[in-house]
Amino acid sequence: MQTPSAKTVYVCQLCGFRSQKWLGRCPGCGEWNSFLTESDRPLRRVRNSSPVLEYPTVQQEKVERITTRNVEFDRVLGGGLVPGSLVLLGGEPGIGKSTLLLQIAESLSAQGLKTLYIAGEESIQQIKLRGERLGVQGRNLFLVAETSLEAIFTEVEALQPQILIVDSIQTVSTEKLESIPGTMGQVRECAAQFLSFAKQQNIAVFLIGHITKEGSLAGPKALEHIVDVVLYFEGDRHQNQKIVRAVKNRFGPSNELGIFEMSSRGLLCVENPSGLFLSERPESAAGSVVVCAMQGSRPILAELQALVSHSAYGTGRRMGNGVDPSRIALLLAMLEKRVGLQLSGSDIYVNVVGGLALQEPAIDLAVVAAIVSSFRNQPIGFRSVVFGEVGLAGEVRAVSFAQTRLKEALAMGFDWVMLPHGNLPLSGPVEPLRIQAVSSVQDAFDALF
Ligand code: TYD
Ligand code: MG
């Protein structure tokens, strides 16, 4: 451990908590051994004085967008790439970040947009090798192995690209700070400089950021408020389908999903996500139910599975994959209290198939239906879809986009939908779908089992 000088401050590498002393455990996020020293110089910002305007005189700028010619990537960006924007792409190592951005680099450069790819993680040869696999032609695509921020800016000045890809932000460092690359101070300062640079030069900049499970590197989480757009790869890297979610977008809707499939020639756009997520569904298996969830502007049908088994210990374990565990706990408490189900002695696992994370309350009814289906060992109809929010009193509450969800169920060949009574009357015909409207979980179970 270094002896702190007057200027030294300790910063948690995970959440950015600052302290005058070294601490074993971060009071901010609870992480152990996460403090490193960084010189406590304030981040310098470029300040241009700007005029004060009266509201009506403010000219609305039309946002021009560049298509990446990749349907799913354009979708997750909110309809294409905005020039001068700073986009962060985060995800676990090996999930496909470099692959995706090399494909996007090819597609943008093929349109005549000069693109510079900064290789900080891999050698130029390794990137070329990946490019060969992806069928990259690379006209207008330039590569440089560089990790100094100042040197990167010099290269950019010489080349004048319109697109810059930094792989990864954790390898870049500025001479202004003494700390090593990848530390919180470096990552934040470099990202902030890329932001003002992107705005001044009107260059679109992509930053790749690793998220490690151990959190040993400064997390891209700390950059979320700096950048314009935050995209994360969701799910785990072993599955073929790759989901990219916009968790923040200053130029478009957040929560939009891009769905890809990893192939031997890179990431392919998935045209029918519902079909993909339902492709391996078991027939007449207790605990399996199909839900229709809104993901951004798009309805997606997904299979929810629950497994309720007798616990070997007194208190049962509860695990959720793709469903918020605290939401599961709340729904289980409701089931015990309102429906009288004795679940405390059972282990309960809930899983969304395919690595999707579903966060809307509209999946509640499907979660309880899956749990009860497994508990009673009674399957739910194979061609049935269930959606609705569940309240603490066991009431089923109306959800938004009911008609959109029904259309998706219809398009995917389902024939029976259970939805909240509060969503009636429907705004249009949905024949030949049969509709079961319910106003309480008890009603729902009476209709399902
Ligand atoms: P990569 O893009 O290097 O991941 P990241 O940059 O997020 O660390 O690679 C992701 C994985 O994809 C890697 O295990 C190899 C695999 N892959 C394919 O299956 N097909 C391909 O065409 C390519 C280029 C990679
Ligand atoms: Mg990579």
DSSP readout, 46-102? ---------GGGPPPPP---B--S-HHHHHHTTSSBPTT-EEEEEE-TTSSHHHHHH
DSSP one-letter code for 315: S
Closest CA to 192 of 317, 309, 45, 67: 45
**CATH assignment of the domain containing 260:** 3.40.50.300
Whether 26 shows a pLDDT value over 50: the answer reads yes
Do 435 and 362 meet the contact criterion of CB atoms below 8 Å apart? no
In this structure, the answer to whether residues 259 and 281 fall within a common structural domain is no
In this structure, the answer to whether residues 250 and 297 fall within a common structural domain is no
* pLDDT at position 159: 96
pLDDT tier at 234 (50, 70, 90 boundaries)?
Answer: confident
* pLDDT at position 43: 53
Report the alpha-carbon angle 301-306-308, nearest 5. Answer: 170
DSSP one-letter code for 382: T
The verdict on the CB of residue 96 being under 6 Å from ligand 1 is yes
Entry pTM = 0.85
**Residues contacting 47, CB < 8 A, separation 6+:** none
Q: Which atom of ligand 1 is nearest to the CA of 130?
A: 24
Torsion from C-alpha of 306, 311, 312, 316, nearest 10 degrees: 110
Measured CA to CA, the distance from residue 304 to residue 176 in angstroms comes to 50
Asked if residue 51 belongs to a domain, the reply is no
In this structure, the answer to whether residues 197 and 76 fall within a common structural domain is yes
Q: Tally the residues of the chain.
A: 449
Q: Domain range for residue 147?
A: 66-271
The verdict on the CB of residue 94 being under 6 Å from ligand 1 is yes
pLDDT tier at 255 (50, 70, 90 boundaries)?
Answer: confident
Domain boundary among the residues 221, 239, 271 is at 271
Q: Which atom of ligand 1 is nearest to the CA of 167?
A: 6
Cα(first)–Cα(last) distance of the chain, in Å? 64
* Coil, helix or strand at residue 134: helix
Asked if residue 232 belongs to a domain, the reply is yes
* pLDDT at position 14: 74
Measured CA to CA, the distance from residue 239 to residue 86 in angstroms comes to 28
Whether 235 shows a pLDDT value over 80: the answer reads no
| pLDDT tens string 310-361 | 888 778 899 999 999 999 999 999 999 999 999 988 999 999 998 889 989 9
In this structure, the answer to whether residues 323 and 390 fall within a common structural domain is yes
In this structure, the answer to whether residues 347 and 410 fall within a common structural domain is yes
| Average pLDDT along the chain | 90
Q: Which atom of ligand 1 is nearest to the CA of 266?
A: 22
pLDDT tier at 45 (50, 70, 90 boundaries)?
Answer: low
Give the environment of ion ligand 2: residues with CB less than 5 A: 98
In this structure, the answer to whether residues 296 and 191 fall within a common structural domain is no
Please give the distance, rounded to the nearest whole angstrom, from the Cα atom of residue 237 to the centre of ligand 1.
Answer: 9
Please give the distance, rounded to the nearest whole angstrom, from the Cα atom of residue 95 to the centre of ligand 1.
Answer: 6
* pLDDT at position 312: 81
* pLDDT at position 1: 43
Asked if residue 331 belongs to a domain, the reply is yes
Mean local confidence (pLDDT), 276-295: 92
Do 104 and 77 meet the contact criterion of CB atoms below 8 Å apart? no
pLDDT tier at 42 (50, 70, 90 boundaries)?
Answer: low
| pLDDT tens string 103-157 | 999 999 999 999 999 999 999 999 999 999 999 999 999 999 999 999 999 999 9
Mean local confidence (pLDDT), 65-77: 96
Asked if residue 428 belongs to a domain, the reply is yes
pLDDT tier at 48 (50, 70, 90 boundaries)?
Answer: low
Asked if residue 426 belongs to a domain, the reply is yes
Whether 4 shows a pLDDT value over 90: the answer reads no
pLDDT tier at 216 (50, 70, 90 boundaries)?
Answer: very low
Domain boundary among the residues 271, 303, 332 is at 271
Asked if residue 47 belongs to a domain, the reply is no
